């Protein structure tokens, strides 16, 4: 017999409605490795917060597939929150949705922290154009920037964040700090530090002591890249310190009791391993983890017959009742899969016995509309 998570007394049940309905919780962050259903989970949570708990909610997605807009009945999503009018606002709640545009968000940061002339110099710089669109870590950094902006406006009872589809769940925490250090780093300052020789960049110096280094860097990076990078940093000089400071401010919000992290996973080894690592990291960083959302769980209709017993019975009755024998084999396969999923999941629950768990059964079809999101939200609330 398979003991399900719901039946296991050693596993705490996650009270999703307790999280969504708590007015002291202002930010919910759905995190996990790619492909585990973070976007759908975030949208379902935001919808339930608005409809069942009367909260003015905004969900921020970083999903490039634009599935959230379709599920919410919107023609498109962009960098500005759009109200979802199909919400049943019987409790006075509202739902707004947006999709992160990392370049536009970076442009907004530049516009807010420098003068218009300097901003235009930054916008047309080739290095900035590349970094704001494709640079490693920019998406995670701008997700943190946008979260900070939404929280600072104080217009929302609850902000639900769907974290970027990174290779590793930890990228959401690590990448902003790395990019912040790069943008505020000594090397970039060196590129434009006045050498007290007319204010030229160090890379334009031709002194005997620095000429070799300059030529080496030109060879490694390319003279045009050095020129673009130097121009970018020169235009950005008035913003030095701001990148790291804002990143640290948002990091403190993530550490505050007003934030609840939900780690989303599926019962597969790689996803559970990522969830295990992420839960440990949240604990070490003193970030409030509310629980684990285990998505796409397969549960047989009955667990009274084990896989082995069903297989044996199938062999015994096949000659006289082949249809029933096939049914038993199907059940055996479902039980075997459920047993594998339970074994994989217990890697997490044994490492983190104090972390409550909610499960979502595997759906027969992809969620593609608001009714499907409601069903997911209800499943989370009861399981």
pLDDT, tens digit, 9 for 90 and up, residues 9-31: 678 899 999 999 999 999 999 98
Q: How far apart are CA 295 and CA 372, in angstroms?
A: 14
Q: How far apart are CA 163 and CA 16, in angstroms?
A: 19
Least reliable range by pLDDT among 122-126, 160-164, 167-171, 223-227: 223-227
Give the model's pLDDT for residue 42: 93
Residues 46-83 pLDDT 10s: 999 999 999 999 999 876 666 677 778 887 788 889 99
Element (H, E) at 46: helix 38-53
* 3-class SS of residue 158: strand
Closest by Cα among 62, 57, 71 to 26: 57
Residues 238-247 pLDDT 10s: 565 567 777 7
Give the model's pLDDT for residue 261: 95
Per-residue pLDDT band at 290 (split at 50, 70, 90): very high
Per-residue pLDDT band at 221 (split at 50, 70, 90): very low
Residues 240-273 pLDDT 10s: 556 777 777 888 888 899 999 999 999 999 999 9
Give the model's pLDDT for residue 256: 92
Backbone dihedral region for residue 207 (phi beyond 0: left; psi -120 to 50: alpha; all else: beta): beta
CB atoms within 10 A of CB 39: 24
Residues 162-214 pLDDT 10s: 887 666 666 777 766 676 666 665 555 555 454 334 444 444 433 444 444 44
Residues 81-98 pLDDT 10s: 999 988 887 778 999 999
Selection from 42-46, 111-115, 309-313 with the highest mean pLDDT: 42-46
Closest by Cα among 151, 28, 164, 156 to 96: 156
How many helices and strands (H and E) does the chain possess? Answer: 16, 8
Closest by Cα among 123, 156, 168, 143 to 271: 168
* Share above pLDDT 70 across residues of the chain, in percent, rounded to a whole number: 76
Per-residue pLDDT band at 121 (split at 50, 70, 90): confident
Residues 313-346 pLDDT 10s: 889 898 889 999 999 888 888 888 888 998 999 9
* 3-class SS of residue 309: helix
Q: What is the CATH number of domain 13-110+143-173+259-305+328-364?
A: 3.40.50.300
Give the model's pLDDT for residue 296: 92
Give the model's pLDDT for residue 176: 65
């Amino acid at each position: 017999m398979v003991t399900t998570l719901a039946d296991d007394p050693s596993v705490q049940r996650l009270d999703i409605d307790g999280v969504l309905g708590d007015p002291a919780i202002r930010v919910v962050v759905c995190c996990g490795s790619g492909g585990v259903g973070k976007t759908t989970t975030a949208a379902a949570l935001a919808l339930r917060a608005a409809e069942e708990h009367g909260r003015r909610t905004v969900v921020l997605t970083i999903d490039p597939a634009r599935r959230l807009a379709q599920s919410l009945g919107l023609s498109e999503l962009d960098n500005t929150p759009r109200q979802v009018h199909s919400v049943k606002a019987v409790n006075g709640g509202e739902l707004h949705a947006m999709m992160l545009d990392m370049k536009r968000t970076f442009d907004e940061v530049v516009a807010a922290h420098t003068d218009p002339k300097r901003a235009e110099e930054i916008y047309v710089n080739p290095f900035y154009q590349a970094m704001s669109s494709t640079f490693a870590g920019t998406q995670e950094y701008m997700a943190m920037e946008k979260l900070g902006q939404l929280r600072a406006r104080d217009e929302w009872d609850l902000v639900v964040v769907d974290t970027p589809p990174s290779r590793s769940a930890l990228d959401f925490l690590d990448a902003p700090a790395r990019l912040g250090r790069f943008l505020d780093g000594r090397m970039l300052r060196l590129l434009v530090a006045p050498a007290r020789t007319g204010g030229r960049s160090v890379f334009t110096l031709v002194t005997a002591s620095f000429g070799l280094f300059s030529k080496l860097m030109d060879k490694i990076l390319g003279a045009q890249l050095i020129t673009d990078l130097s121009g970018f940093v020169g235009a950005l000089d008035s913003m030095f310190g701001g990148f790291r400071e804002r990143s640290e401010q948002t990091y403190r919000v993530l550490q505050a009791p007003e934030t609840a992290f939900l780690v989303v996973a599926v019962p597969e080894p790689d996803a559970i391993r990522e969830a295990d690592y992420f839960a440990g990291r949240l604990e070490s960083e003193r970030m409030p983890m509310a629980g684990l959302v285990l998505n796409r769980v397969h549960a047989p209709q009955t667990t009274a017959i084990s896989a082995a017993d069903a297989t044996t019975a199938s062999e015994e009755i096949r000659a006289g009742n082949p249809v029933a024998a096939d049914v038993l084999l199907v059940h055996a396969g479902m039980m075997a899969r459920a047993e594998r999923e339970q074994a994989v999941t217990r890697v997490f629950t044994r490492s983190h016995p104090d972390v409550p768990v909610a499960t979502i059964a595997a759906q027969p079809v992809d969620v593609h509309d608001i009714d499907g999101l409601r069903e997911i939200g209800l499943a989370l609330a009861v399981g």
